[in-house]
Structure 1
Amino acid sequence: MSKKIGLVAHDKKKQDLTVWCSQVKEKLAQYDLFATGTTGQAIIDATQLPITLLKSGPLGGDAQLGAMIVEGELDGLVFFIDPLTAMPHDVDVKALIRLATLYDVPFACNKATADAVLTLF
């Protein structure tokens, strides 16, 4: 049974996440990948990795990833966060981080932690 990894990034971090996914493409190809809509499409365009697209983050994609965590259907979360830009859906982002913490799901918020989380699998 393949591990499931969620991928999401704030707008100003989508390029960083796409570059990271390109760098670790061979490793990511071993997993079932889920991503919020806009982020996931950017990654697909850059890498051709098979990714299940959820809603865009502000439209509920963050909540969908959170529900997957609660149901035990997500083994890791990579969420490249932009710490310098206010987000209108910040409450959703905080809820997702809270759930990853509460359910002890490995959570990466930047390239360094994403590299570390990927070594766990």
Structure 2
Amino acid sequence: MRIALIAHDEKKDDLVAFAGAHRDFLKDCDLVATGTTGGRVAEAWPGLTIRRLKSGPLGGDQQIGALIAEGKVDALIFFVDPLTPMPHDVDVKALMRLAIVYDIPMALNRATAEIILSGNETTARA
């Protein structure tokens, strides 16, 4: 499974914890992440191989959007901070739009990310 990981600044710790809780499953996935998020996850969980792109505000969101459009991402896990204004909000909206257009699972919080992975973890074990 090819999974993109992104988290706004105030949600990066949550995504790192989520990745740790699911590291046994994620270690067998092709992971791609925006730069800072990918660095934080890789530092906390060195057993995970993560392709790091640019940080979100510097084009990383758009890079992941391009991968979605090319059919190279199967699921998007994006821990969004709804309480902090984002200067690159248009990039975030474009990324979400592509996930919708290409009909890939998109989790914007931990509860939904748990559902996406739980279904795939069961399939992977079968």
**For this structure pair, what is the TM-score category when the shorter chain's length is used for normalisation?**
over 0.9
Q: Secondary structure at the match of 1:8?
A: strand
* Selected match of 2:24 from 23, 26, 31: 26
Alignment of 1:70-85 (within 5 A): 70-85=69-84
Question: Is residue 41 of structure 2 the alignment partner of residue 54 of structure 1?
Answer: no
* Selected match of 2:10 from 4, 9, 12: 12
Deviations 1:35-57 (Å, cap 9, x if unpaired)?
Answer: 00000000001111110000000
For normalisation by structure 1, the TM-score amounts to: 0.96
Distance of 2:66 and 2:119 partners within structure 1: 22
Distance of 1:82 and 1:116 partners within structure 2: 19
Distance of 2:114 and 2:8 partners within structure 1: 18
Shift in Å at residue 118 of structure 1?
A: 1.1
For normalisation by structure 2, the TM-score amounts to: 0.92
What residue in structure 2 maps to residue 64 of structure 1? Answer: 63
RMSD across aligned C-alpha pairs, in angstroms? Answer: 0.7
Distance of 2:51 and 2:12 partners within structure 1: 17
Shift in Å at residue 117 of structure 1?
A: 1.1
What residue in structure 2 maps to residue 99 of structure 1? Answer: 98
Distance of 1:120 and 1:87 partners within structure 2: 31
> Sequence identity of aligned pairs in percent?
55
Aligned length: 119
Unmatched segments (≥5 aa) in structure 2: 121-126
Moved over 2 A (4+): none
